[in-house]
Amino acid sequence: ERHAPEGVVPGAEGIRCGCRRAPDCLHRASVASAAPVADPAAASCRAAAAVLEAGTDGAGAVLQAELLRAAHTARLSGLPRAAGRAVAVVTALRAARAGDPDYRVTDLTAALRDVLVLAHRLPDATGPELAGLRGSVRQPYSPDGSLRLYGVFAEPVLSATGYAGAVTWTADAAGRLYTVSDVAPGGAERATGAADRAVRLGDTALTHRELSRAGLAVSGATVSPTGRLGAGTGVRAVRASGVGWSAEPLDRLWAVPVSEQISRALGDDRDGGEAREDRDLLFLDVTLVGTVREAAGECLVADCGGLRLRLAAAHDHPTLPHRENLRLLASVPGARLRVVARLTPGPLPRATLLAVSHPT
């Protein structure tokens, strides 16, 4: 029996069961886990709204503590997704206030948006949508049979949350993207060295750098909802040949109209599930026009089918080559490039540069 005045269960005493194991039975737990969530969502919304109103300068220890308290409440209420995004807001705030060179305002705004969207949708969600909005502590992996994958590019990971490593992107014959990840606690040294570590997948000895230009034949593959390949004991993988970006099947990634790619990147997951990791990637053919100076530094200006686009460095940390590579590209105006970038929503068309073909 669930006692929920005004649609809200006020506490554990609001769920009663008549079985002999009550009140410690699994029946109460199952009813509680299926119930709409109100209080944690409201706490997260209030804390995030206060941060939004105060801005980074005003979001000091007190507001950060409120967000962390809301995250703790959400975690105890079985809402790991909301808890994780609230912690991400606090991490980004601390990076901004400390002048961390890797701080990006887009990370903070994305985390704040997620907290507010989750808080808005959780109280009324039911069924599969509620399950997706709740999230999970560990990503579930589902069998996906045999895959023939082609390396696309590898990118270093250096997060403000203290994690570093590399992620290699691959695509199958239909152009669907999959990632192989090696991310663990660490700093810039791990981010720069992970490219030369062997990928954790089957028996292959390929490094992330090598896989970005080669291929894999995988049997017994398992894949998470976000597109990440699992590395369980039943997975087998051997090296295979790769192809260039202008050859099939990779060429089809750049054949998707730019407007369609941008709509996908800006889209909202109405089913409540975790977004695929490739959703905000852009595969573009561009011509370099020049440079423009922003508050975070100089960025490239490129023409993409008549659209002027700003291309910024994906990382500003001095141990990573992104800023230097941007300067080298700025020295060849008029060069035509095939690039992979990540959309960063803002008042001007803008993306961070992840990988580049040789200029022509």
Domain around 313: 268-356
Instruction: Let me know whether 150 and 247 are in one domain.
Output: yes
How far apart CA 98 and CA 53 sit, in angstroms, is 20
Q: What is the pLDDT of residue 206?
A: 93
* Residue 172: predicted pLDDT: 95
160 and 227 fall within a common domain: yes
Tell me whether residue 205 is in a domain.
yes
118 in a structural domain: yes
- Tell me: do 49 and 69 sit in the same domain: yes
pLDDT of 73 reads 85
Q: With respect to residue 108, please indicate whether it lies within any of the assigned structural domains.
A: yes
Residue 32 inside a domain? The answer is: no
Please, what is the Cα angle at 29 between 25 and 35, to 5 degrees?
A: 145
Same domain, 52 and 79: yes
For 143, other C-beta atoms within 10 Å of its C-beta total 11
Q: Are residues 52 and 91 in the same domain?
A: yes
Among residues 109, 134, 159, which one ends one of the domains?
134
Do both 147 and 234 map to the same domain? yes
Q: Is residue 317 part of a domain?
A: yes
Is residue 258 assigned to a domain?
no
Q: pLDDT by residue for the chain (360 residues), tens digit each?
A: 555 554 555 444 556 777 766 665 566 556 555 555 457 888 889 899 999 999 988 898 888 888 888 888 888 888 888 888 898 899 889 888 887 766 778 788 888 998 999 998 888 888 888 888 887 766 678 888 899 999 999 999 987 667 899 999 999 999 999 999 999 888 889 999 999 999 988 888 899 999 999 999 999 999 988 889 998 888 999 999 999 999 999 999 999 999 999 888 877 554 445 566 778 899 999 999 999 988 777 899 999 989 899 999 998 888 899 999 999 999 999 999 999 999 886 677 789 999 999 877
pTM: 0.71
Q: Answer yes or no: are the C-beta atoms of 220 and 241 closer than 8 Å.
A: no
Strands 307-313 and 350-356, by their bridges, are parallel
The predicted structure's pLDDT at residue 10 = 46
Whether 27 is covered by a domain: the verdict is: no
Q: How many domains does the chain have?
A: 3
pLDDT of 274: 57
Residue 189 sits in the same domain as residue 211: yes
Tell me, yes or no, whether 146 and 130 share the same domain: no
Cβ proximity of 314 and 324 under 8 Å? no
SS (H, E, C) the chain: CECCHHHCCCCHHHECCCCCCCCCCHHHHHHHHHCCCCHHHHHHHHHHHHHHHHHHHHCCHHHHHHHHHHHHHHHHCCCHHHHHHHHHHHHHHHHHHCCCCCCCHHHHHHHHHHHHHHHHHHHHCCHHHHHHHHCCCCCCCEEEEEEEEEEEEEEEEECCCCEEEEEEEEECCCCCEEEEEEEEECCHHHHHHHHHCECCCCCCCCEHHHHCCCEEEEEEEEECCCCEECCCCCCEEEEECCCCCCCCCCHHHHHCCHHHHHHHHHCCCCCCCCCCCCCCEEEEEEEEEEEEEECCEEEEEEEECCEEEEEEECCCCCCCCHHHHHHHHHCCCCCEEEEEEEECCCCCCEEEEEEECCCC
User: Quick one: 273 and 245 in the same domain?
Assistant: no
Which residue among 110, 134, 158 closes a domain? 134
Q: Evaluate whether residue 299 is within a structural domain.
A: yes
Strands 163-171 and 236-240: unpaired
Domain identity same for 61 and 129: yes
In this structure, what token pair is assigned to residue 245? 């970006």
Same domain, 243 and 310: no
We report the CATH number of the domain holding residue 343 as 2.40.50
pLDDT at 27: 64
